[in-house]
């Protein structure tokens, strides 16, 4: 599907609209049901124009649903799914639980996962464990055991359950003990005057659900990782396919209509991609892994930490196994990997994916360091990893972030697109609040600013060298100092060409990951944020 051809986007939109209009229980004439080969043939490039005919689409959709129901089509595994929990097409995913517990806190020293589960009364945690047991028992129905394994899911679940254990004392700093670290401030996630007015934004970056937080992740990361090298319709389907991941994160804030749209559009996208897979437009590796990561994320999505009201505020460490830990799954970077892989025409190994997940974890959890601290979100690996002197710890993290990002970029052109796509999302997404953080911090009043080695140890130069072949837009490109509303308009234009799109993404990485910028965002010792906090529990 060449990028210059918009037929694919029109076809995908028609597919989704038709899917939403055909109810799952609509009966079809068994004698008229298409064979799998017949359905797949329409998704070959030479036949795509037939998919703009509504009656033809509905015939394919009813036939596809029939074949799935008859267990004739694999959905990620080596055998067809036997239950809704492993059938990504029929699952009406909704991880909300009615639980009034106070969470797993305090956690006794030396507590194990097994011991905590025996004492646990949290319905959300119980549901997560039940679902993990079920899907791992049926792993052959959804998992190719390539990038994502049952062990990855078990390890991530254990990390969630133990995240409040091993609570550390308040860290030291170059200025000695600092009581101010108990009261970290950061902006909430509400829209800001630096954001595009919503009606205009939805015209620039349209989605079915029209929720900006979710559209940001689709356009600024998932679709961006294709860098304009593949058809927008296929890229859009890939961004919609893991809608259950977005449901897991934001279901409490979604109304019933938005929840329904996310569920159904996600199913439509998965069906679209499966037929592309059957037509050999995308590989088994591409399709099977998007199913695997979505199902694993769905399991983790039941988790809720109900202990926040009991736990102390501020900056301190707790249980942390290592990088990327649960972020291997719950950053959902595979969505970007899939787009980049199809665009480049290469796959990546599990080792390359692990490096990429680790780099993305550093970027994400450093950018969200202040906001996750004020919200007491212990999913943040950077927060949990705090030990010893905070200044040295944060300085070391900046160096590690830059070095790992450079390593990932050099390891594979697929990984490179994902790293720069991820920085684009971190910079341009409203909820990361990079613009507000940088314009709201002031050098603190508590003492002289210590020297960070990351500013001059060559780590940033490694990143710049890794990005050298990706182009630049110079002053016309993205910048941490530009308003998101201005960048929304600029990006809309530059993303129309693969060359300028790729240069934009590379410039996002250069600007966001500049050591001085990262320090202002995360250095809570020397840089105090002075803006209006607002509603810290707000979720768009």
Q: Using CA atoms, how far apart are residues 182 and 106, in angstroms rounded to an integer?
A: 18
**Along the chain (540 residues), what's the average pLDDT of each consecutive run of 10 residues?**
68 97 81 96 96 96 95 96 91 91 91 91 96 96 91 96 96 93 90 94 96 96 97 97 93 90 96 98 97 97 95 96 95 98 98 98 98 95 98 99 99 99 98 95 87 98 99 98 98 98 99 98 95 73
With 0-12 / 13-18 / 19 or more C-beta atoms within 10 angstroms meaning exposed / middle / buried, residue 480 is: buried
Tokens of 73: 């089509």
- Taking a C-beta distance cutoff of 8 angstroms, is the pair 500, 476 a contact? no
Backbone angles phi, psi at 111, to 5 degrees: -65, 140
Ramachandran angles phi, psi of 528, nearest 5° = -100, 135
What end-to-end distance do the CA atoms of the chain give, in Å? 34
Q: Using CA atoms, how far apart are residues 310 and 86, in angstroms rounded to an integer?
A: 36
pLDDT given at position 23: 85
This prediction's pTM: 0.96
Q: What is the 8-class DSSP label of residue 34?
A: P
Give residue for tokens 């689709």.
218
H or E element in which residue 292 lies: helix 284-300
pLDDT tens digits along 158-216: 999 999 999 999 999 999 999 889 999 999 888 889 999 999 999 999 999 999 999 99
Q: How far apart are CA 519 and CA 434, in angstroms?
A: 12
Q: What is the pLDDT of residue 252?
A: 87
Give 414-465 pLDDT, tens digit per residue: 999 999 999 999 999 999 999 999 999 999 777 789 999 999 999 999 999 9
DSSP 471: -
What secondary structure letter does DSSP report for 468? G
Sign for the CA dihedral angle at 277, 280, 284, 289 comes to negative
How many CA within 13 A on the CB side of residue 88? Answer: 38
Closest residue by Cα to residue 431 from 368, 343, 344: 368
Beta bridge mates, 441: 529
Residue 516 is encoded by which pair of tokens?
A: 């001085």
Cβ-Cβ contacts under 8 Å for 331 (sequence gap 6 or more)? 324, 357, 360, 361, 364
pLDDT at 92: 86
Task: Give dist(CA 201, CA 215) in Å, integer.
Answer: 9
| 443 φ, ψ (degrees, to nearest 5) | -60, 135
Tokens of 405: 């990002």
Please give the C-alpha separations between residue 355 and each of 227, 333, 401, 422, 447, in angstroms, as whole numbers: 21, 12, 11, 14, 37
Q: How many C-beta atoms surround the C-beta of residue 217 within 10 A?
A: 23
Buried (b) or exposed (e) across 279-288, using 16+ Cβ within 10 A?
bebbeebbbb
Q: Which residues contact 57 (CB under 8 A, 6 or more apart)?
A: 14, 15, 18, 51
Encode pLDDT of 477-510 as tens digits. Answer: 999 999 999 999 999 999 999 999 999 999 999 9
DSSP annotation string for 195-257: SPPHHHHHHHS--SS--HHHHHHIIIIITGGGTTSS-HHHHHHHHHTTHHHHHHHHGGG--HH
Return the half-sphere exposure (C-beta side, CA atoms, 13 A cut-off) of residue 159.
24
Return all residues near 455 (Cβ < 8 A) that are at least 6 apart.
Answer: 515, 516, 519
Q: How many CB atoms lie within 10 A of CB 510?
A: 20
Strands 441-443 and 527-529: antiparallel
Tally the residues of the chain. 540
Taking CA atoms, 382 is separated from 100, 224, 293, in Å, by 29, 26, 23
Greatest Cα pair distance, the chain, in angstroms, is 80
CA-to-CA distance for 332 and 290, rounded, in angstroms?
A: 9
Closest Cα to residue 163, out of 294, 299, 302, 311? 311
What is the DSSP code string of 51-84?
A: GG-HHHHHHHHHHHHHHHHTT-S-SSSSS---SG
């Amino acid at each position: 599907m060449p990028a210059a051809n918009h037929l694919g986007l029109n076809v995908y939109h028609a597919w989704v609209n038709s899917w939403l209009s055909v109810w799952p229980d609509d009966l079809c004439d068994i004698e008229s049901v298409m064979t799998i080969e017949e359905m797949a043939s329409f998704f070959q490039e030479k036949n795509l124009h037939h998919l703009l005919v509504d009656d033809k689409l509905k015939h394919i959709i009813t036939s596809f649903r029939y074949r799935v129901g008859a267990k004739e089509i694999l959905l990620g595994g080596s055998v067809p799914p036997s239950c809704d929990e492993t059938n990504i097409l029929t699952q009406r995913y909704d991880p909300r639980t009615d639980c009034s517990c106070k969470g797993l806190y305090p956690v006794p020293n030396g507590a194990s996962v097994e011991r905590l589960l025996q004492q646990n009364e949290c319905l959300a945690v119980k549901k997560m464990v039940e679902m993990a047991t079920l899907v791992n028992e049926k792993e052959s129905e959804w998992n190719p055991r390539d990038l994502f394994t049952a062990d990855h899911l078990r390890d991530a679940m254990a990390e969630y359950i133990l995240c409040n254990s091993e609570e550390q004392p308040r860290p030291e700093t170059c200025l000695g003990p600092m009581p101010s670290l108990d009261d970290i401030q950061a902006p909430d996630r509400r829209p800001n005057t630096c954001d595009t007015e919503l009606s205009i934004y939805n015209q620039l970056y349209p989605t079915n659900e029209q929720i900006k937080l979710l559209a940001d992740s689709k356009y600024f990361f998932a679709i961006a990782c294709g860098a304009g090298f593949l058809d927008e319709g296929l890229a859009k389907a890939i961004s919609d396919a893991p809608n259950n991941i977005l449901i897991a994160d934001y279901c409490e804030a979604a109304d019933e209509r938005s929840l329904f749209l996310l569920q159904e559009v996600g199913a439509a996208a998965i069906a679209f991609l499966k037929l592309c897979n059957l037509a050999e437009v995308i590989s088994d590796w591409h399709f099977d892994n998007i199913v695997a990561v979505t199902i694993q994320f769905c399991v983790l999505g039941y988790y809720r930490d109900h202990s926040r009201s009991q736990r102390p505020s501020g900056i301190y460490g707790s249980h942390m196994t290592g990088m990327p830990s649960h972020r291997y799954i719950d950053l959902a970077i595979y969505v970007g990997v899939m787009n980049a892989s199809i665009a480049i025409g290469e796959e990546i190994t599990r080792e390359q994916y692990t490096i990429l997940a680790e780099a993305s974890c550093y970027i994400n959890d450093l950018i969200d360091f202040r906001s996750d601290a004020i919200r007491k979100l212990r999913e943040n690996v950077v927060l949990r990893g705090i030990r010893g002197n905070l200044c040295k710890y944060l300085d070391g993290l900046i160096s590690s972030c830059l070095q790992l990002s450079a390593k990932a970029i050099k390891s594979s052109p697929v990984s490179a697109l994902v790293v720069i796509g991820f920085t684009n999302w971190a910079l341009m997404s409203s909820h990361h609040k990079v613009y507000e953080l940088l314009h709201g911090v002031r050098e603190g009043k508590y003492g002289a600013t210590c020297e960070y080695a990351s500013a001059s140890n060559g780590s940033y130069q490694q990143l710049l060298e890794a990005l050298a072949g990706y182009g630049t837009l110079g002053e016309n490109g993205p910048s941490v100092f530009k308003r998101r509303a201005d960048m929304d308009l600029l990006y809309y234009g530059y993303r129309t060409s693969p060359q300028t799109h790729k240069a934009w993404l590379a410039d996002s990485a250069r600007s966001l990951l500049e050591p001085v910028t990262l320090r202002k965002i995360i250095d809570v010792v020397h840089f105090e944020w002075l803006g209006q906090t607002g509603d810290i529990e707000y979720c768009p």
